[in-house]
Amino acid sequence: MPVANIQVSETPLVLYTLRRADDALILGHRLSEWCGHAPMLEEDMALSNIALDLIGQARELYSYAAKVEGKDNDEDKLAYLRDVRQYRNLLLVEQPNGDFAQTLVRQFFYSAFADLSWRAMMTSRDTTLAAIAAKSEKESAYHLRHASEWLIRLGDGTDESHARAQAAIDHLWAFTGEMFDVDEGERALIHAGIAIDPGLLRGRWLQTISDVVSEATLVLPQNNWMQQGGRTGRHSEHLGHLLSELQSMQRTLPGLTW
């Protein structure tokens, strides 16, 4: 018997928390797809551990979103029983793994943003978000270092690894602008000292990105046109396929828990 999608009361704080949770869950699932397929055993373990970190962040955020909402939803329902349009993750994190270079560039762009974001959120007036941020920043710092070191290795490596890394940057660059967008509800949370203003992080993010890309002997695109839609539930075709796999067990055997 089909399992019905849940409904969520998307108040600004619930929506803000869900966006961060969805980022972590979807990217964590993408990285888990590398398990058993990474180019070396050590990297197989590293990507799996990063995926586990992200899923752990998602769990804490989903649990808090459910608590704030105050209804009968919980972390499992929020992760597994929403329709694709109810997910509010960045378009960047739902992009396919592609080759190893594309996976690392996607991780690099996101981790550079997440590390700054978690660090800033440690000062949030919302004590729960501040506590989640304090724990998550330790993880994101490692994620960023890992991706940065690999990007330098690929960019400053062979002709083929350099070409693949540059192609990944060129392809994924248009998905980075969405990280810094805010809507009216999120702006109110920023003014209240609960949310962080991602626009204030753009300069430091770009400096981090530029420094590593330069050391990797790669270049950033000059095109400023950016993709948008993920934060408002308008996704690429890739998310629907991802969710059909992610949700299959819970849809088939309702009530399972992590």
Backbone angles phi, psi at 217, to 5 degrees: 60, 35
The SS3 of residue 72 is coil
Backbone angles phi, psi at 172, to 5 degrees: -90, -10
- Record the pTM: 0.95
Collect all residues with Cβ–Cβ distance below 8 Å to 130 and sequence separation of at least 6.
121, 122, 123, 124
Minimal CA–CA distance to 103: which of 160, 57, 49, 164? 164
Low-confidence ranges of the chain (pLDDT < 70): 1-2, 256-258
Task: Name which CATH class applies to 12-219+227-252.
Answer: mainly alpha
- Please tell me the distance from the alpha carbon of residue 83 to that of residue 204, in angstroms, as a whole number: 35
Question: Contact 78/18 with Cβ under 8 angstroms?
Answer: yes
Backbone angles phi, psi at 125, to 5 degrees: -75, -15
- Please tell me the distance from the alpha carbon of residue 212 to that of residue 210, in angstroms, as a whole number: 6
- Please tell me the distance from the alpha carbon of residue 179 to that of residue 85, in angstroms, as a whole number: 18
- Please tell me the distance from the alpha carbon of residue 94 to that of residue 222, in angstroms, as a whole number: 23
- 3-class SS letters over 141-167: HHHHHHHHHHHHHHHCCCHHHHHHHHH
Question: Contact 78/96 with Cβ under 8 angstroms?
Answer: no
- What is residue 257's predicted lDDT score, i.e. its pLDDT? 65
- Please tell me the distance from the alpha carbon of residue 184 to that of residue 186, in angstroms, as a whole number: 5
- Please tell me the distance from the alpha carbon of residue 175 to that of residue 80, in angstroms, as a whole number: 25
